[in-house]
Structure formats: structure tokens, C-alpha cells
A = this chain, B = another copy of it.
């Protein structure tokens, strides 16, 4: 008997991945805009173009969907930022690259940034352990890099921890507070030029903060 196999395994897997990706993209945006409880799986399904029940086949619970969204946010962000602390080169250049990379993430993945921000603002009740395990070590390592530079006399002595907090805050806000920024600038949304201005100012501020006071 000739059994008709609809799709080879690989195509099936590819299709599954593609649909999962579409669901996650829709979910990321909606979680960012409406928060966890404000987002319904029906709305995610509709935006994806599938039925609610079909979505529940791929993500059996709302929590599992939310968890995957946050996992993917972190994966993307960690991948972009991981190499920076290892970077050899002048501290000023590394700092500017760091600012640029973080700002680029705010620009290219604003919803990812905002989902993460909302989770943290709410106290990270859902994702706190993952942050402790995956984000905190990275931030601590960055702080240590700053402190080594200071010990080696390559930059001026400042509070490395709060310098990193400041750097994070300034870059993160171009995703999280872009709605308010756009209102101040009286334009529908931030443009590439705005991000260039931001990168210049933030880069200058950070570099100046650690410049030796001749």
C-alpha cells in the first residue's frame, strides 16, 4: 500500500518552526503593548492568522508562550551583547560600541525590549530566576571589565556599577519611552536620525564620564 506522506520530516519541522516564529512575533508585540494579562491568546492567534485552539496546540498554556517570548528576547539580546566585554581595544571605543549595540537592539527589537521592561517593572515575578541566572552574570562581568580598566589606569575611577546602570537606562529608554519621546519631538515615531543623535550624545556622555580629569 502506498501511503502518502504529506510532508517529509524536514519540511514539517520547518513549517512548524515558521508558524511558531509567527506566533512568537505576534505574542511579543501584544505582550509589549498590552501586558501579560491584557494580552489574550485569542488576540495572538488572530494576529497570527490561526485559531485560538491551533495556537494552544503549539503552546499548551499562556504561561508557556510568555516564557518562550522572554527566552527568545534574552537569546537575541545576549547574542548581540556577549562579545562586547571580551573586546580588546581602547575603552572609549568599546564603550561606544556597547552603547551602539544596545541602542540598535532598542531600535530593531522595540517590542522585545518592552516585554522585558514590563516584566522587570512588575517585579520580575515570573522571570526573576532566569534574569538572575542569565542576565545578572553578564552585567556583573561588564562591571568587572570597567573596574579592571580603572585598576589599570585606563579610565578614570567612577562607580562602575552605577555607570552600567546609567548606560543601560539611557539605551533602554529609547525602546521603552519612545512613545513619550515621539510626543516631545512632535513626530509619529522616532527615526533613524533620532537614534544617531542619541548614540552620539550617550556615547559622548559615557566616554566623558570616564575620561581622566587632566
Hey, which chain B residues are within 8 Å of A200, CB to CB? 159
Give the bracket for the number of chain A residues in contact with chain B. Answer: 35 or more
Q: In the assembly, what is the distance between CA of A198 and CA of B184, in Å?
A: 26
Count of identical protomers in the assembly? 2
Nearest CB of chain B from residue A168's CB, rounded to whole Å: 7
Q: Counting CB contacts under 8 A, is A83 at the interface? A: no
Hey, which chain B residues are within 8 Å of A125, CB to CB? 33
With A38-B37, A159-B201, A197-B159 known as contacts, the answer to whether A170 contacts B177 (CB < 8 A) is: no
Chain B residue nearest in CB terms to A198:
B162
Give the interface segment out of A11-19, A57-65, A84-92, A132-140. Answer: A132-140
Q: Counting CB contacts under 8 A, is A82 at the interface? A: no
Residue A38 contacts which of B35, B183, B184, B204 (CB distance < 8 angstroms)? Answer: B35
A residues near B (Cβ < 8 Å) are: 32-38, 114, 117-118, 120-125, 128, 131-132, 135-136, 139-140, 143, 158-159, 161-163, 165-166, 168-170, 172-174, 176-177, 179-181, 183-185, 197-198, 200-202, 204-206, 208-209
